[in-house]
Amino acid sequence: MAVDSEGRRFWRSLEEYLETPEFQEMLHREFPEQASEWTNPVTRRRFLTLMGASLALMGLNGCSTQPAPREKIMPYVRQPEEIVPGKKLLFATAMPLAGVATGLLVESHEGRPTRIDGNPLHPASPPGSRDDAEVGSSDLLMQASILSLYDPDRSQGVTYRGQPRAWNEMLVELRRALDKLKSQGGEGLYILTETVGSPTLAAQLNELLDDEHFPKAKWYQYEPVSRSNVLQGAKLVFDEYVNTYYDFTKADVVLSLDADFLLTGAGALRYTRDFMSRRRVRTRQIKPAEVKMNRLYVVECGLSNTGGVADHRLALRASQIELFAQALAAELNVPDAPKSDKKALPDEAQRWLGPLAKDLRQHAGRCLILAGEGQPARLHALVHAINHALQNVGQTVKYTVPIEAKPVDHGQQIAELVKEMAERRVKVLVILGGNPVYTAPVDLQFAEHLKKVPLRIHLGLYQDETAALCDWHVPEAHFLESWSDGRAYDGTASIIQPLIAPLYNGRTAHEMLAAFTDAPERAGLEIVREHWRDWWKHQKRSGSFEEFWRQALQEGILAGTAFPPRELAPKPGWAERAAPAAPAPSAAKGMEIVFRPDPTLFDGRFANNAWLQELPKPVTKLTWDNAAIVSPKTAEKLGIGYVGGIRAVSGRPGPNGGEHGQAIVDVVELSYRGRPLRAPVWVQPGHADDAVTIHLGHGRWRGGRVAKAVGFNAYALRTHEAPWFDSGLEVRKVPGETHVLACTQMHHNMEERAPIRTASLAYFQEHPYFADELTAGETEKPAVLAQVPGPQPRGRAEKELEEERKKDPDKDRLIPLTLYKDADKDFAGASKGYQWGMAIDLTTCTGCSACVVACQSENNIPVVGKEEVTRGREMHWLRLDRYYDGEPFDPNRVSVHFQPVPCMHCEKAPCEQVCPVGATVHSHDGLNDMIYNRCVGTRYCSNNCPYKVRRFNFLQFADFTTSSLKLMRNPQVTVRSRGVMEKCTYCVQRIRIADIEAEREGRRIAEEHLLTACQAACPAGAIVFGDINNPKSAVYQCKEEPTNYALLAGLNTQPRTTYLAALRNPNPELIRPQPKRGE
């Protein structure tokens, strides 16, 4: 366990905290045990059987004398003007998710979209690191949706009860049914959509429901993870639906009530960027003593990423958060606030109220309170009132008209629809997107009642649960194949344009709806274009529509469509409308159950995306599974053994999990409202006691090979009355049953070497160089650093250094402690050219993991599957380590630190010294090159890498056979095969291309044109990459910061990747002294 200068201990799992012998053993292995052998006899035999044939073929293949296989060249017949073979093109479009659009810039190679980034001009995807960057930031769902586009499991044709049919046959049947309904004004026609954010789709639906068509038809919306509560809360206060968004650039103090605003929801990228812009500490212009940071308080139940970066975090059960808000409102004297019972809150929450209220009051107009979508509407109403009372409205809080085309209460909508179906009033049901059979509240028995509808038509990306119960299924076009439109969190409209013609003959919702009208074959482009042409005519803008349309497509936004902010105040009587309905549930009624969208699979729609399945969940680091997440104390109470069986109250013996990524955990039976559900348990420090969080989106029974049979289905407990949390949960351990979870948290461990350095702002102001710890022989430091390019550390005060030198045990040594030869003068240090380096700011990193998926997409990194992850073989080049510090048995004292670890590109790389074939060597610009064609797979390099950043293709992980996946690959990066080592290259392909372009034009590389994939994705701007020989570069300036430190610097590897220590800004009045470690 690592200990920092302030005596803080950092740990990654409970085993590490408790220091078990198994953990110690694990530390001394590189690739975890069993990583290089097939211990499961069945797998081993099957593998040998399978390999028998392919080995023989491989032998023959190896005999081929020609270095490259013969190929054909298929030129265009008429080459499109803008396409230059070998060069990428960028197209602006947008990604709709739950009714909100985020701007995209999609990279296309000869007509194949290969990669997704944010659109820098779009308000919801601003560049994180520099404003002039070529691309904007992105989140993990945006990044991974390129894989969904090429997913070979997507539905590939129209079916009628499972049999393939033609689109026209569907049209005929639909027309026949519609003709019957037409005479009754469309009574019996029901349309179910997800949240509609597309103005064109809304206009089409409204047209369909007008007097000339089907006035008695009904349109319902249902989205399992909706913003209903947010909108209903606004309605309680303002008596109308209102969209709320925030300006974090003006907020000095932020209080989040169960809102994971840095990771999820509309505008998360913009919020992260703005929030972190107030947290980035740079001392180039100002003295450390004058540095200011914003402050974040988080009150939440489960540990989220936002909670992880908070300055203060309070763990309350989800139901207690409303009580807390009421008490806070009382403390702040908010007019009309409901009565509160402070006494019902835990002690720690009561202790918070005074200092928090004081801090907020002092920053009135410059603070911000926000609540999560999982909290009830009443709480949202109260939060609006508090923000109003603190004069934040118009400053940090902005109100506009809703971005949804028709705001509704989704729970109520689906309940009404089911009622109609049960009463057999539904003659034709058209489901446009969504998967209600899987996601609808379990108590409504949607599937049961759906069967009563005579004609059921489903439009969806997959042959999923809903498709199976519908007569007709029509494959939906992916958004990268569609013409559509959408609105961002602030109302800015974007046109969604296709990057490729539908791969599987998909149709969009627009085209589907056109089938209801007299022009059934209208193309999506025409429909969307016509809508905006009408809009443009109303606007009475100058210029031609053609010009406007082209600009909209090119920029990805329709200029001036953001909704203007509105001045709103709580309407009188809001307090009565928002009065607490029921008395607060007490702990006596069992435990609390909390439903959350999965951090990577969302509501389950991404379940067939292997990148997202294998991406370690940002906090738990679980892959390919979900679990019932409980706090250590609750686990103890339930008699659940921890991971690894430590303190196994169950009495189950010893070492079996946590390490190696193979966590063998207990299984519990959750019973809630009479419904049982079995789930593996994950013990999560920082989670509120007496509550269980379960993630939606797993446990699919149809919808693709990847999606099926992964995890358990949390929807099986979710009712329409309590979609987010409720009490009354019974938890019982299932004796003798265990489950294997694949968790990467303990892979690639770096032992006790203080990888994370952190301090409070106050401590930093006194000791700016706190992170620059005495690691190498201090006396040798100048000699060592002289060989490293980039800024020379400005260093601490000479006196301070003198003190440390005296303490240095090696001060009398004459020969520097190094195994390496001095830097070759030809090499890095001496060069005047580009020298690439990276700095990662741990203060601003939120651990959102977008960088990991961005890297995976850019570098053709394969997935390996759950089985292989449990052997420690996952291939992500960039990993996000998560460390805890504090006391695991007190959820309020757990804080979290995230640390992205790519290859360090050491000046004196240990891996290079041991490669017998020279497959990893230094380049002239300081990169630690990996040459796949030379690699023979000895794995010496990864044994010798202290940072554990090398990944080995133990098996043939890359898919060379699925043709649709071939289209997706980045043509600039080699696809690696079995037996080859790989690792982060600093996106060398981008460096070389930028270099060639600059050389050709006789200029230097412009920094804004050269971003690594992880840097481009990062909304917080935490990753900075550039030329460390150039004092004007951002990375040089980062490395000059006093908080700059190198990982494991004492090994004298001289890494090119360095870190800026994490700073937090706690409220002095809320700090408690760190307690002694208690067992």
Cβ 79 to other proteins shortest distance, Å: 4
Token pair recorded at residue 917? 């074939």
- H or E element: which one contains 95? strand 88-97
Q: Which residue has the tokens 């997107």?
A: 433
CA 912, 914, 918 angle in degrees (round to 5)?
55
User: Nearer to other proteins by C-beta: 330 or 973?
Assistant: 973
Q: How far apart are CA 743 and CA 660, in angstroms?
A: 8
- DSSP label at residue 225: S
Of residues 1073, 971, 1055, 1037, the one with CA closest to residue 87? 971
Comparison of 762 and 921: residue with beta carbon closer to other proteins? 921
Q: How many angstroms separate the CA atoms of 167 and 173, rounded?
A: 10
Q: Residue 458 or residue 1056: which is nearer to other proteins going by CB?
A: 1056
* Residue closest to 603 by CA, chosen among 886, 753, 410: 410
Q: How far is the CB of 68 from other proteins (least distance, A)?
A: 4
**Which CB, 867 or 929, lies closer to other proteins?**
929
**Pick 895 or 985: Cβ nearer other proteins:** 985
CB of 89 vs other proteins, minimal distance in Å: 12
Q: Which is nearer to other proteins, 320 or 985 (CB)?
A: 985
The full DSSP string for 936-962 is ----HHHHH-TT---EE--S--S-SS-
The secondary structure of 310-351 as a DSSP string is -SEEEE--TTHHHHHHHHHHHHTT-TTPPP--GGGS-HHHHH
Q: Whole-number minimum distance, CB 938 to other proteins, in Å?
A: 18
Query: Is 517 or 974 the residue whose CB approaches other proteins more closely?
Result: 974
Closer Cβ to other proteins, 841 or 925, answer by number? 925
Give me the least distance between CB of 835 and other proteins, in Å please.
12
Residue matched to tokens 């519908």: 470
Kindly give, in sequence order, each residue whose CB lies less than 8 Å from that of residue 485, ignoring residues fewer than 6 positions away.
94, 101, 198, 199, 200, 493, 494, 495, 496, 528, 531, 532
List residues near other proteins by CB under 8 A.
Answer: 65-79, 84-87, 826, 833, 921-925, 927, 929, 931-933, 972-975, 985, 988-989, 991-992, 996, 999-1000, 1002
Nearer CB in complex with other proteins: 933/961: 933
Q: Which is closer to other proteins, CB of 894 or CB of 915?
A: 915
- Residue 649 CA: distances (Å) to CA of 268, 275, 288, 637: 41, 43, 50, 9
Beta strands per DSSP E along 956-1070: 981-982, 1023-1027, 1044-1046, 1057-1060, 1062-1064
Task: Write the DSSP assignment of 728-742 as a string of letters.
Answer: EEEEEEEEEEEEEEE
Q: How far apart are CA 873 and CA 939, in angstroms?
A: 13
Min CB(918)–other proteins separation in Å: 9
Closest contact distance (angstroms) between CB of 498 and other proteins is: 20
- Cβ–Cβ < 8 Å for 516, 209: no
889: left (phi over 0), alpha (psi -120 to 50) or beta: alpha
Q: Of 451 and 1000, which CB lies nearer to other proteins in the complex structure?
A: 1000
Three-state DSSP state, 985: coil
User: What is residue 681's three-state secondary structure?
Assistant: strand
Q: Which DSSP symbol is given to 603?
A: T
Task: In angstroms, give the least distance from the CB of 988 to other proteins.
Answer: 5
* Angle between the N-to-C axes of helices 524-539 and 545-555, in degrees from 0 to 180, rounded to the nearest 10: 120
Tell me the CA distances in angstroms from 788 to 742, 794, 827, one per residue in order. 40, 14, 10
Comparing CB distances to other proteins, the nearer of 340 and 985 is 985
Burial class (CB in 10 A: 0-12, 13-18, 19+), 416: middle
- Residue closer to other proteins by CB (options 573, 833) is 833
Q: Closest distance between other proteins and the C-beta of residue 84, in Å?
A: 5
Residue 87: CB minimum distance to other proteins, A = 5
Q: Residue 60: phi, psi to the nearest 5? A: -65, -40
Mapped onto helix, strand or coil, the DSSP state of residue 38 is: coil
The b/e string for 126-162 (b: 16+ C-beta within 10 A; e otherwise) is: bbbbbeebbbbbbbbbbbbbbbbbbbebbbeebbbee
- Structure token digits, residue 255: 């209080």
* Min CB(1014)–other proteins separation in Å: 17
* Rounded-to-integer distance, Cα 141 and Cα 850, Å: 8
Cβ proximity to other proteins, 536 vs 932, nearer residue: 932
**Closest to other proteins by CB, 357 or 998:** 998
Q: Which is nearer to other proteins, 86 or 735 (CB)?
A: 86
Closest distance of CB 999 from other proteins, Å: 6
| 929 vs 1008 by CB, closer to other proteins | 929
Smallest gap from residue 83 Cβ to other proteins (A):
10
Least distance in Å: CB of 75 to other proteins? 4
For residue 340, give every residue at least 6 positions away whose Cβ sits within 8 Å of its Cβ, in sequence order, or none. 323, 326, 327, 329, 330
Least CB distance from residue 994 to other proteins, whole Å? 12
Nearest distance from C-beta of residue 132 to other proteins, angstroms:
24
> Do the beta carbons of residue 303 and residue 894 sit within 8 Å?
yes
CB of 876 to other proteins, least distance (A): 18
Nearer to other proteins (CB atom), residue 938 or residue 974: 974
Cβ neighbours for 69, distance < 8 A, ≥ 6 positions apart: none
CB of 1002 to other proteins, least distance (A): 8
